[in-house]
Chain A
């Protein structure tokens, strides 16, 4: 592990229990993890091992049942709703397996969405979003809607959206899971480049080819880390 890099996220003994009626499902059973600037982490594990649950908690989309999670030394459980929303907005970008774009918005408006909630003016929003779309190779798709684009293009729009507000960590939950292998490797190249530019990426996958891009692999089994 490279020393001297700043710690962004620190998760201590994180548990997450879901309730299905009266049956408790222990998705996480005590995970401890640190993410530092410019990390490129891959979280691997079988389906149902708790990978998604873990990065949802890391990205403040969900809260742990037990355990402590610090964002730059601040305890997340003390955050108000507005602070959590702020963290999702400015600290993190998230790329979902299913793209999760708003179907009625154009590519540029989808990318600009985090900036809307960051209170950026429309002109700046458009300028920044257009720039990043160009960089990611979608300069000619700016005014297309999701149903007018291929899966790979949609995922690139989603990556642009995750990057637009210059977050400290970009999370991706099986970003290539819905794509054919060629498109998938194109997407992986984008992630590699993002990390080269100094960004921090945490990616969930169950594909070891995909995971091999990362500098660090965390493998999960039944809600516990069984290898790094």
Chain B
């Protein structure tokens, strides 16, 4: 039995060798299909992983209170959002008094196009105004120096803790602690460096300056008066619930904020409450679209590849009609012929599958080198690529194989 299969495989290898170019072209559909799927799957998997890691490193089920929705779903009235009352550090203070809340901090940020230190320069640094509790909410740790304190916040001290990206790029050869940065004409003293956090959805979480929000208000006395700026450039509040209290937190915060904004019961909320769960869901919706796209690509290219295989197998059956006749005349049964051609089409599909898998891995690797996306390859993807190409080989090989098996030996022998 094993002997028999090996025999047929070696026959397939022979056929493949004799028609190298033709076989390769036939396998191309499968190669393209499988490689696309493998590449995209491993990129999505990489994304999933870094998101999961990120969420784990944030650590708890945070609740976010903000003026504007995290994602604008559909057409929303920006004017309406802009006219909502701003959230304030006082709101954060009031929220932190709630029974289900462990910590609540104000969080406001801007992007700096450039940040310089002597001859070094980095771009797109996020400057973030918050309180001394920022690190414990976000599971950040100070690697060198110290974090700023409550005292620094009350006294509006011009101090900052910097992310590891900033440290590495502006201070490659020296300790940043004690050095001074200049932001919009303000000198800020670096007092601590955060441990590296990695990237979130391709964005570095380490390209960041964390400063007391009191000092932030000094750097940015107003956030601008355009509709866009009013809608999106204010405070939001990061809330860390007590253990297992996420549900209660949302209810309590909603009630409190409606009271603070004096909203009558028939009016809608004029703020947005989001949980990490919701963030995850939004993210999952995005990747789901990716998955559906993959399934479509995979289906189409595998069908195209499969038709290619069927076509070439039919040609092969026609070309080898005499061979089939001879084999039958010396004792090959229909079953023998059927399995020979089936092994051949599966072999062809698997060669395509293997090349596709390798190409897909290479592609994913290249993408993760030239872009911030990370690829992550799992064994199941390789198995999937293998399984799919084998299935295509069987499905599209069965018809030509049956045609070969059903040939009458005499007519096959007479065929020229």
Measured CB to CB, the closest approach of chain A to B333, in angstroms, equals 4
- For A100-139 the 0/1 string (1 means CB < 8 A from B) is 1110100000000110111101100000000000000000
Measured CB to CB, the closest approach of chain B to A79, in angstroms, equals 11
In the bound complex, how far is the Cα of B336 from the Cα of A94, in angstroms? 19
B332 interface neighbour in A85, A96, A121, Cβ under 8 Å? A85
Q: Is the interface of B mostly helix, strand, loop or mixed?
A: helix
In the bound complex, how far is the Cα of B331 from the Cα of A113, in angstroms? 9
Assess whether B7 is interfacial by the CB under 8 Å rule. yes
Q: Is there contact, CB below 8 Å, between A104 and B331? A: no
Measured CB to CB, the closest approach of chain A to B79, in angstroms, equals 79
In the bound complex, how far is the Cα of B409 from the Cα of A141, in angstroms? 28
Given known A-B contacts A104-B18, A114-B330, A62 and B322 have beta carbons under 8 A apart:
no
Q: Is there contact, CB below 8 Å, between B331 and A100? A: no
Using Cβ atoms and an 8 Å threshold, which residues of chain A touch B325? 100
B410 interface neighbour in A61, A81, A118, Cβ under 8 Å? A61
In the bound complex, how far is the Cα of B344 from the Cα of A71, in angstroms? 35
Q: Is there contact, CB below 8 Å, between A86 and B331? A: yes
Q: Is there contact, CB below 8 Å, between A100 and B410? A: no
In the bound complex, how far is the Cα of B331 from the Cα of A84, in angstroms? 8
Chain B residue with minimal CB distance to A112? B330
Given known A-B contacts A81-B334, A88-B328, A62 and B3 have beta carbons under 8 A apart:
no
Assess whether B327 is interfacial by the CB under 8 Å rule. yes
Using Cβ atoms and an 8 Å threshold, which residues of chain A touch B3? 121-122
Using Cβ atoms and an 8 Å threshold, which residues of chain B touch A62? 408-410
Assess whether B329 is interfacial by the CB under 8 Å rule. yes
**Could you say which of B7, B325, B331, B408 has the most chain A C-beta atoms within 10 Å of its C-beta?**
B331
Q: Is there contact, CB below 8 Å, between B335 and A100? A: no
**Could you say which of A85, A90, A94, A100 has the most chain B C-beta atoms within 10 Å of its C-beta?**
A85
Q: Is there contact, CB below 8 Å, between B336 and A85? A: yes
Assess whether B323 is interfacial by the CB under 8 Å rule. yes
Given known A-B contacts A86-B331, A102-B323, A61 and B7 have beta carbons under 8 A apart:
no
Assess whether A89 is interfacial by the CB under 8 Å rule. yes
Assess whether A213 is interfacial by the CB under 8 Å rule. no
In the bound complex, how far is the Cα of B413 from the Cα of A63, in angstroms? 15
Measured CB to CB, the closest approach of chain B to A71, in angstroms, equals 14
Assess whether A156 is interfacial by the CB under 8 Å rule. no
Q: Is there contact, CB below 8 Å, between A117 and B336? A: yes
Q: Is there contact, CB below 8 Å, between A161 and B330? A: yes
- For A29-54 the 0/1 string (1 means CB < 8 A from B) is 00000000000000000000000000
Using Cβ atoms and an 8 Å threshold, which residues of chain A touch B413? 96, 100
Measured CB to CB, the closest approach of chain B to A174, in angstroms, equals 14
Assess whether A24 is interfacial by the CB under 8 Å rule. no
User: Told that A100-B329, A117-B333 touch, could you supply 4 new A-B pairs with CB distance under 8 A?
Assistant: A85-B333, A113-B327, A114-B331, A117-B332
